[in-house]
Amino acid sequence: MTGNSSVHSKGACRVCGGTVEEFLDLGSQPISQAFLEPRATEKEFTFPLTIGRCASCMMVQLLHDVPRHLMFHREYPFHSSSSQAMQAYFADVARTLLRTELTDDDPFIVEIGCNDGIMLGTIKDAGVRHLGFEPSGGVADEARAAGVRVRGDFFEEGTAKEVCAAEGTADVIYSANTLCHIPYLDSVMRGVDALLGPNGVFVFEDPYLGDVVTKTSFDQIYDEHFYLWSAESVRATAARFGFELVDVLRLSAHGGEVRFTLARAGTRTPAPAVAELLAEEQQRGLSELATLRRFAANVNGIRDDLVRVLTDLRAQGRRVVGYGATAKSATVLNYCGIGPELVEFVCDTTLEKHGKLTPGQHIPIRPPAAFADPYPDYALLFAWNHAEEIMAKEPAFTEAGGRWLLYVPDVHVV
């Protein structure tokens, strides 16, 4: 069954119009967070999940995009605050911005994709003027209930200009795990240009291509993750819109990210870290097709290993349960063809996922209590980016003889 994904002049870079050369085909995929009711009869939307690299600006991007209203809507099930580690992390991000950038009289910060208010809550507590853009109504309401100011729209040129007209320019525009979700990056950059004050900064953090390639973390590729940034591609994009990449910071969050800081060209001296990361990318040939094709070959190897391990475990009569019904897991399950015959169910803390099925492969999702009732032999950790937090709260699983099964950076048991 084929979905009606929109193809933007196939093969043309969404940033510069250059030619995008495909290096990995992850097959036909459903919407990564479209969890199904058990007896749902309507056909699932699917689209071809293929990724390539622009020969001109080096931007790594999907070749097909899913209409945004099919992903981000009132029932969008990802709640940023479901991880306590991420709550602490974003409180720290907010404190850093308050200390370093929001120091003038009456500063103003805008967040793109504020979700349930995980970062802006701390800004609100400090009494600083703020506005979050959040089109997914359910999580936006949670942010509002926490006292955060939210505009329930997609950030783009038009909505950004409206905010500027009504509230003036922003000192900081911040975005975490959202900018890479936005194929219409040109509109967003024009919006940032309109809304950001003359000496302001645009700070965003997302999964880093360098980490995805090093760890073969191909599950970072799914409908919502349209771009995988490198310092090289971000620098080129910034320049097209009159901005300059002035800082980069590597982060361990979500399996390896970079926090990019852009400023209007010429307003800030770039930190040495920018040239260092650019040099490192050059040296390892990060954006070269040969590197990306080697990555693709490694992805195939992980698929073969994982399917073999799961098939062997089933043949031995072992029980395997998934841990974390993540968006990332949709890519793994559907690319590898892993269904309920190999993974009995997936447990997850998110209330609205309970009783539903994973998209495409239809594995049941159960509350965390099901995990221990009784413990399986193996837990396939789909939320591997939260491994520390999850393993710390499940000590009884390994004490009972259970083992964690991971597939990043390769298939292994801990």
At 221, list the tokens.
Answer: 């590729």
- Does residue 408 bind ligand TMP (CB under 6 A)? no
Of 65 and 348, the one with the shorter C-beta distance to ligand TMP is: 348
Q: Looking at 23, 35, 47, 72, which residue binds ligand SAH (CB under 6 A)?
A: 72
Contact 237, 59 (CB under 8 A): yes
Of 57 and 160, the one with the shorter C-beta distance to Zn ion is: 57
- Does residue 51 bind ligand TMP (CB under 6 A)? no
Minimum CB distance to ligand TMP, residue 29 (Å): 16
CA-to-CA separations, 397 to 7, 309, 379, in angstroms, rounded: 45, 20, 9
Of 82 and 261, the one with the shorter C-beta distance to ligand TMP is: 82
Residue 178 CB coordination number (10 Å): 22
CA-to-CA separations, 387 to 95, 303, 320, 394, 411, in angstroms, rounded: 25, 21, 17, 10, 15
Q: Which of residues 74-93 bind ligand TMP (CB under 6 A)?
A: 82-83
54 contact choice in Zn ion, ligand SAH, ligand TMP, none (CB below 5 to 8 Å, kind-dependent): Zn ion
- Site map 333..372 versus ligand TMP, x via CB under 6 A: ---------------xxx----------------------
- Does residue 113 bind ligand SAH (CB under 6 A)? yes
DSSP string, 351-373: GGGTT-B-TTT--BEE-GGGGGT
- Does residue 82 bind ligand SAH (CB under 6 A)? no
- Site map 139..168 versus ligand TMP, x via CB under 6 A: ------------------------------
Q: Looking at 326, 331, 358, 361, which residue binds ligand TMP (CB under 6 A)?
A: 326
Contact 10, 202 (CB under 8 A): no
Nearest to 128 by CA among 112, 114, 101, 109: 109
Of 78 and 243, the one with the shorter C-beta distance to Zn ion is: 243
At 19, list the tokens.
Answer: 């030619």
Can you tell me whether residue 285 is helix, strand or coil? Answer: coil
The continuous run of DSSP H or E covering 157 comes out as helix 157-167
Minimum CB distance to ligand SAH, residue 225 (Å): 10
Binding site for ligand TMP (CB under 6 A): 82-83, 324-327, 348-350, 383, 385-386, 389-390
Binding site for ligand SAH (CB under 6 A): 72, 76, 78, 80, 112-113, 115, 118, 133-136, 139, 154-156, 176-178, 181-182
